[in-house]
Amino acid sequence: MSTAAAIILFAAVTFYAIFGGADFGAGFWDLTAGGAKRGERPREIIDHSIGPVWEANHVWLIFIFVVLWTCFPEAYASITLTMFVPLTIAALGIVLRGASFAFRKAVFRTRLQRHFGAIFAVSSVLVPYCFGAIAGGIASGRVPAGGQAGDPVNSWINPTSIVAGLLAVSVTAYVAAVLLTWDAGRLSDDTMVGYFRIRAVAAGVVAGVIAFVGLFVARNDARYLFDGLTSRALPLVVVSVLGGLAALVLLRGRPHRGGRLAALIAAGALIFGWGVAQWDYLLPESLTV
């Protein structure tokens, strides 16, 4: 029973990471799109892309909470007690992001749009970083079992958390760039296809490098995770790498539907790989499923 719940939990985390992550990543490109004039067209594509689904993806997050507190209440209490600060930042970031995205569309003066846009974009980077840092803290065994509070600072400011946070930002940026390339292709905007394609490649390379560095960090800082990643989770790691490369290949020329799928698989396999790597610990190495 609890095994099934844990699998559902990691599946929900994976879905939130790829679907919610794509929304956050779009915010990253919004942030880096440059001034109002230069960044106008990319921002239009971003708006078009996430407009209809925006914020509905948080339902995955709520679902994660619900599964956690219903099936693993003790672990949930431990996580919220230990990760109070990054969770609070993430919550506030979600408020700022969702509200300012809505406001930006509803106001018409450029100056106001720019203000709301900046809030939207900055919080879009902050939130995935915090979630990544929390995941890193959990994976490296810094959250104790038994509804206890761990170290309030070291639990999310530590080598594994920093790498995981950066990885989260780069992966969301990568997935978003791939999806945006495809969206631009659907709108037959070749300039923007090229614009987002180059960014997808860049983000993919950066994510790859961070993941590679992360393996070495984990070897010293999160041994259980490292052992898992290099044994039972190895197939998923390979799938993730292949998916990431395949997506970039499929983006050449006219964007291909498969590229989108490959990018989602790459991100999904990475997150699910984390779950498999720390199996059967929910909180390594103190609380098992």
Partner 1 sequence: MMHVFGGLLILVPMEVDPVPWARAQMAFTLAFHIILVPLGVSWAAMTLIANYRAIRHGDRDALRLAQRWSKYMAVTFAVGAVTGTVLSFEFGLLWPQFMGKWGEAFGVPFAFEGLFFFTEAIFISIYIFGWRRLKPWPHFWSGVPIPVAGIFGSASVVAANAWMNSPQGVTLDSTGMIVDVDPVAVIFNDAMPLMAAHMIIAAYLVGGFLIASVYATGMLRGRRDRYHRLGFIIAFTVAAIATPIQMGVGDGLARWVYSNQPVKFSAIEMVPQTSSDVPETLLGHLNSSGEVTGGIPIPGLASWLSDPSTGRSTVVQGLDTVPADQRPTIREVNVVHLAWDIMVGLGTLLFLFTLWYWASWIFRRDMPQSRWFLRCAVVAGFLAVVTLEAGWTVSEVGRQPWIVYNKMKVADAATTNTGVWFTFIVVALLYVGLGITTILVLRGMSRRARREPRFEETDVPYGPRETADRPQVRAG
Give DSSP secondary structure letters for the chain: -HHHHHHHHHHHHHHIIIIIHHHHHHHHHHHTS-STTTTHHHHHHHHHHHTTTTTTTHHHHHHHHHHHHHH-HHHHHHHHHHTHHHHHHHHHHHHHHHHHHHHHHH---HHHHHHHHHHHHHHHHHHHHHHHHHHHHHHTT-S-SSS----TTTTTSSHHHHHHHHHHHHHHHHHHHHHHHHHHHHTT-HHHHHHHHHHHHHHHHHHHHHHHHHHHHHHHH-HHHHHHHTTTTHHHHHHHHHHHHHHHHHTSSS--HHHHHHHHHHHHHHHHHHHHHTTTEEETTTEE-
CB of 103 to partner 1, least distance (A): 5
Q: Specify the residue, 4 or 91, whose C-beta has the smaller distance to partner 1.
A: 91
Q: Specify the residue, 71 or 207, whose C-beta has the smaller distance to partner 1.
A: 71
Q: Specify the residue, 101 or 174, whose C-beta has the smaller distance to partner 1.
A: 101
Give the C-alpha separation, 131 to 12, whole Å: 14
Binding site for partner 1 (CB under 8 A): 44, 47-48, 51-56, 58-59, 61-63, 65-66, 68-71, 73-74, 76-81, 84-85, 87-88, 90-92, 94-99, 101-103, 105-108, 147, 149, 152
Give the C-alpha separation, 277 to 7, whole Å: 13
CB of 235 to partner 1, least distance (A): 32
- Asked if 46 and 30 touch (Cβ cutoff 8 Å), the reply is yes
CB of 234 to partner 1, least distance (A): 33
Q: Specify the residue, 112 or 249, whose C-beta has the smaller distance to partner 1.
A: 112
Q: Specify the residue, 116 or 272, whose C-beta has the smaller distance to partner 1.
A: 116
Q: Specify the residue, 149 or 205, whose C-beta has the smaller distance to partner 1.
A: 149
Count of alpha carbons within 13 angstroms of residue 141, beta-carbon side: 18
Q: Specify the residue, 92 or 205, whose C-beta has the smaller distance to partner 1.
A: 92
